[in-house]
Structure 1
Amino acid sequence: MINLQPYENPGYFVLLVVALLPAIIIRLNGRRSHWYETLVSFVFLFLMFDGRKWTQGVALIGYTIWQFAIVALYLRYRTKKDSPNKFSVFFWSVVLAIAPLTVVKFTPLFDHGRSSIVGFLGISYLTFKTVGMIMETRDGFIKDFHPVKFLQFLLFMPTISSGPIDRYRRFEKDYDRTLDREQYLDLFGKGIDRLFLGFFYKFILGYGFGTMLLPNLQRQAMQARGGFLDFSWPLIGVMYCYSMYLFFDFAGYSLFAIGISNLMGVETPKNFNYPWISHNIKDFWNRWHMTLSFWFRDYIYMRFVFFIMKHKWIKSRVTIANLGYLLLFLIMGIWHGETWYYITYGIFHATVMICTDAWIRWKKKHEGLLPHNWFTHAVAILLTFNTICFSFLIFSGFLDRLWFH
């Protein structure tokens, strides 16, 4: 029996492409069929949560009803004549929207590692979509609530399990437009290219690093382990190997989601942009898991900074920015899990961001004092690469096994 978890094996892609063939043919004729694309999406969502995972499917249905009600009621409140733009209504709308995700994330902490009954595959990405809609509604960018479009956006099958995280207004434009034959052929070609690249990333490079090399290096590192903070050559190999595995596996998933989206006529935003050539940590977060990075930047960091500046609680903009980094990456670490290594991973990135900002300010103040050429640029890339790989070693949780178990 074929595993119908998204993008786990070639058989899944065969079934999905066969199911999408009628939609592709309709697209090639310069038209589109919303109802058929919706049907395919819901059939594959159903297959994701059949059998032993039926409770996750029920949780997804309940979650969708919950978020639908919150978004619909808040948008109705905001667009009603003479309705005040009360912060309290906005605040509680966001709190209620993230409540299911909060329960899912913290249940294992208080219930001896057990998973929450309200959890399901993709709940984080769906929550990010909903909260983004609420915030853009408050800002006045979203003025109408279209029930069908909201459900299409929230439950868009290619991206539900692994992202990328789309924005409602961008998705709505793709949903409403009809491409002519030439436009669709161009997008179709990009989609096929991304699918093949995703196969190369996940099933060849990701498999090579994650399945063939990493376990052997981890075993050698465990055998060579010494005391706390003791590093060995096998451990350094684990650091680089895990980083490569994490990238190729995750980037492969993202390419699959984007490629299938393209076949359905949707230009889902890309998630990775050559992150290993980043010249500092800020550049890295503009290239790595970009849709998540930009979501956290726009909806957490920027709003925190504007809120503090508006109320004039802190005068120093540098201090505000630094506190924003700490808040941003601490939340990002906790979102991954309530363990010391995820939280340390977040604090580590916040610290490096703060140091990078200080370094950039120092260079501007002393412009011309340091050389800027291909060599210094290469050194910056090398330092960033190793810093990121070390952070991923923390993120992997392997140090927890190595030092404390």
Structure 2
Amino acid sequence: MINLQPYSNPQYFILLIGLLLPLIIGLYFGRRFKVYEAIFSIVFLVLTFGGDKWQQGVTLLGYIIYQFLVTFGFQKYVKNGGKKTEIFSLFVILAIIPLTMVKVAPVIPANEPITIGFLGISYLTFKTVQVIMELRDGTIKEVDPIMYARFLLFFPVISSGPIDRYRRFVKDYNEAPSREKYLDDLSVAVKYLFQGFLYKFVLGWLFGSYWLPQLSQAAIINGKINGGLHLSWALVGYMYCYSMYLFFDFAGYSLFAVSISRFMGIRTPMNFNKPFSSPNIKEFWNRWHMTLSFWFRDFIFMRFTFFAMKKKLFKNRIRLSQVAYLINFLIMGFWHGVTWYYVVYGIFHACAIIINDYWLRFKRKHKKQLPSNKYTKALAIFITFNVICFSFLIFSGFLDTLWFHPMHH
């Protein structure tokens, strides 16, 4: 059986566009072929999680059954008038247990490496937690089992997002777009498809496969000569090169996901919006991996803030937001993996946003005394860009290689 990684080679795209044609024709004539779409999605899920990835496929199936029991168990509880915070918290914990196990498994000492989980478990977990929280709020009145399966297993976004919201997805899915609207979707889909090719297969390859290994090697050789971590031009080059690779690879992937969604008449939200032109770190998080940023903002930062205000945990609102940022970014750090550099990456961004908040308050207070023009804006973008690139150097784990294992390469 062939095994195809999403958006990884020309064979995948040829097969994908070929099988999409009946859907495209149907949507052009104002009809959504839901049965064909379901079969088509199952075929691609089997291709992604079949062959030598069959264990991931089995895990995915078990995971979906488990999350169905959790979500519909909670829906029944809410429908019966249940409102206890403890029960709600229990269901949220139950929803994140599989992801927690996957993240913690690599650091558990074992004779054999523990491999559990599957490609995209994080994004499916974010979706289930969102649905449980919105069921509790009453913003989602009822979850339909078939629609929920479609939402969770919507194959264009299953492996790396973007993270859609249930209500938005359902609205798109239940209404076949008008011909005019769908033609607009198609033109956007084609544009994003080619932009994705440029980002992932040209620029991503140049930065990631061509230049990055050379800079890595040069920085490691420099580290050996100087005994471990040493600031060098090669390390600075690695920092910028890795940042560019990270952006073009992931943004390219996200563009493919949004493009294929549009071909299917679903307006999956965008994930990136010129993040490197952000004038401050807060603005950066409104432009980088936006669906993840907004998910963390809505379901961790805001939830904790409301909880702390309700319980009067902090008298000072500024102090409350600072603690909320730390919790938010610490969880984001741990979500990437249980290693020191991911955790430090999270703390680094929390501190950067807290410092930025101090600066923004200072700016508001001394508005008349401080200059504000295109040069100050350019300086702000330059500083923010370098702060972000340094954070990505931490995130890459390359410092760990230079610091702790300089002689292993």
* TM-score after normalising by structure 2: 0.96
1:312 aligns with 2:312: yes
Amino acid at match of 1:25: I
| Pair 1:2–1:371, CA change in 2 (3 A) | farther
Which residue matches 1:149?
A: 147
Which residue matches 1:169?
A: 167
Whether the aligned pair in 2 keeps the contact of 1:159 and 1:165 (CA below 8 Å) is yes
Pairing 1:1-400 to 2, within 5 Å after superposition: 4-80=4-80, 83-112=81-110, 116-225=114-223, 226-227=226-227, 230-400=230-400
In structure 2, distance between residues paired with 1:358 and 1:148: 48
In structure 1, distance between residues paired with 2:379 and 2:154: 42
Deviates more, 1:105-114 or 1:249-258: 105-114
Alignment deviations for residues 148-206 of structure 1 (CA, whole Å, 9 cap, x no partner): 10000000000000100000000010011011222211101111111110000000000
Whether the aligned pair in 2 keeps the contact of 1:258 and 1:270 (CA below 8 Å) is yes
The offset of 1:28, in angstroms, is 1.2
**Structure 1 runs not aligned, ≥5 long:** none
In structure 2, distance between residues paired with 1:324 and 1:230: 35
Aligned to 2:26, the other structure's residue is in SS state: helix
Alignment deviations for residues 252-302 of structure 1 (CA, whole Å, 9 cap, x no partner): 000000000000000000000000100000000000000000000100011
The offset of 1:227, in angstroms, is 4.7
In structure 2, distance between residues paired with 1:10 and 1:76: 45
The offset of 1:112, in angstroms, is 4.1
Alignment deviations for residues 323-369 of structure 1 (CA, whole Å, 9 cap, x no partner): 11111111111111111111111111111011001111111122211
Kindly report the root-mean-square deviation, in angstroms, between the aligned alpha carbons of the 2 structures: 1.3
Aligned to 1:224, the other structure's residue is in SS state: helix
Q: Identical aligned pairs, as a percentage?
A: 58
Alignment deviations for residues 25-54 of structure 1 (CA, whole Å, 9 cap, x no partner): 111111111111111111110111112211
| Pair 1:57–1:3, CA change in 2 (3 A) | closer
The aligned length equals: 403
Amino acid at match of 1:312: K
In structure 1, distance between residues paired with 2:364 and 2:110: 51
| Pair 1:151–1:116, CA change in 2 (3 A) | farther
Aligned to 1:103, the other structure's residue is in SS state: helix
Amino acid at match of 2:391: S
Whether the aligned pair in 2 keeps the contact of 1:31 and 1:180 (CA below 8 Å) is no
Amino acid at match of 1:276: F
In structure 2, distance between residues paired with 1:104 and 1:387: 30
Amino acid at match of 1:36: Y
Deviates more, 1:195-204 or 1:221-230: 221-230
The offset of 1:2, in angstroms, is 6.5
Amino acid at match of 1:73: G
Whether the aligned pair in 2 keeps the contact of 1:107 and 1:114 (CA below 8 Å) is no
Whether the aligned pair in 2 keeps the contact of 1:163 and 1:254 (CA below 8 Å) is yes
Amino acid at match of 1:152: R
